[in-house]
């Protein structure tokens, strides 16, 4: 549960910092000191937001990916041992 909440938080940060959303963020911040800084230094802004986007997207993917979870591995092992259609080895 905690990893899911963290993953959603990282995903929200990735959504906000996506460089393609910069054209939407700049007009919203127009007239503020932060908006003036972002407009003046657009190259630095693109690079920093791009790196932050990549990192936050990776962290969201890592937190929301449950395929390597120990609980999932145990359930998969239990399901495979109870599978009626899988071939059973011959016992001598």
Average pLDDT over residues 66-70: 64
Residue 40: inside a domain: yes
pLDDT, one tens digit per residue, over 1-34 is 788 888 999 999 999 988 888 788 888 888 999 8
Q: Say how far apart CA 44 and CA 49 lie, in whole Å.
A: 8
Residue 77: inside a domain: no
pTM over 0.75: no
Per the structure, the count of domains in the chain is: 1
Cβ neighbourhood burial of 78 (10 Å; 0-12, 13-18, 19+): exposed
Question: Can you give the residue range of the structural domain that contains 27?
Answer: 2-65
Residue 13: inside a domain: yes
Residue 43: inside a domain: yes
Residue 14: inside a domain: yes
Residue 45, C-beta contacts closer than 8 angstroms, at least 6 positions apart: 22, 38
């Amino acid at each position: 549960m905690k990893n899911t909440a963290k993953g959603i938080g990282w995903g929200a940060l990735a959504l906000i910092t996506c460089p393609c959303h910069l054209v939407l963020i700049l007009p919203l911040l127009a007239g503020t000191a932060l908006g003036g800084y972002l407009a003046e230094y657009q190259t630095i802004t693109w690079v920093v937001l791009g790196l932050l986007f990549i990192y936050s997207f990776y962290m969201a993917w890592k937190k929301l990916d449950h395929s390597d979870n120990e609980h999932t591995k145990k359930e998969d092992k239990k399901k495979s041992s109870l599978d009626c259609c899988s071939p059973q080895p011959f016992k001598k």
